[in-house]
Amino acid sequence: MTTGYAGRRVLVTGGAGFVGGAVAERLSECGAQVSVLDDLSTGRPGAVPAGATLVHGSVTDRETMRELVSGHELVFHLAARGIVASTRDPRQDFETNAGGTLNVLLAARECGIDRIVYASSSSIYGNPRTVPINESDMLVPLSPYAVSKLGGEHYCLAFYESYGVPATVVRYSNVYGPGQRPDNPYAGVVTKFVSSAIRGCPLCIHGDGQQTRDFTFIDDAADATLVAGLHPRAEGEVFNVGTGIETSVLALARAIAGELGVDAEIEHVDRRDIDNIRRRAVNIEKIRRMLRWSPQVALAEGLRQTVESLVGSPLHR
């Protein structure tokens, strides 16, 4: 289905970031004419694929969004403040994650587009009653980030129902893999653990390490996003993007040490304010059934590729 992007004009907000860059890269490989909007606060120009047009700007600028969206057929909206930055500055979090999404949708309503795909987060579920988590389960956001991402979802679905804006929501779960930089203060735990193990440093775990997450390989997340951008059944829907498999942070640390063949020290430190989710694994039966998508990369293989990408990296020389 992704062959349907050939020649299409596609805008990726946040396309200089980790996941946004991977989505932009896949779109370019499919023959799309890609434009990337990024304020480069955490993204980097090197993540933008060759041939794509980089626009330095922010989704908080309504005029910029109107101008950019008008020249494109599809929009992948991945620009967002991360959970750590959001917790430190809830107002900026709201203005970027919720307000920025509203700006994208207002432009889409005015200009008319074929599809907007909004990147949300499984953090909106909070601490679930049961695992794996279904899209229809209770939503209990426990951080400013989760609140703003859920607000963005509601805006997308409201614009779909009220104005006919063709929107689709994908809820990512702990995306990791090559391309995620360990020197980024907001990098995920996988990259941080790999970097620490390479440097011979302890792997620092916040809390007891028994908290679980559903780790999703970057290629799988990007592919699911592209499928959601074209599939006719995706319009007006919300989909979990993950593996459905729980892995404890302690087991993750041990697996990374084993992949590197090192006897890494594991150090337990105080729990952070943002570490308030005890268990996470998402049910992916809906996206499997409706869009015929399923993850292709198991955790062991994803960790192998991540380690391979970071060993010998200039960041560790």
Q: List active site positions.
A: 145
Amino acid at 140: V
- Alpha-carbon separation of residue 81 from 43, 91, 101, 144, 202 (angstroms): 11, 11, 12, 10, 28
Residue 280, C-beta contacts closer than 8 angstroms, at least 6 positions apart: 122, 125, 128, 131, 133, 173, 174, 212, 213, 214, 246
Q: What are the phi and psi torsion angles at 9 (to 5°)? A: -90, 115
Q: What is the DSSP string of 238-283?
A: EEEES-S--EEHHHHHHHHHHHHT----EEEEPPPTT-------B-
Q: What are the phi and psi torsion angles at 119 (to 5°)? A: -90, 110
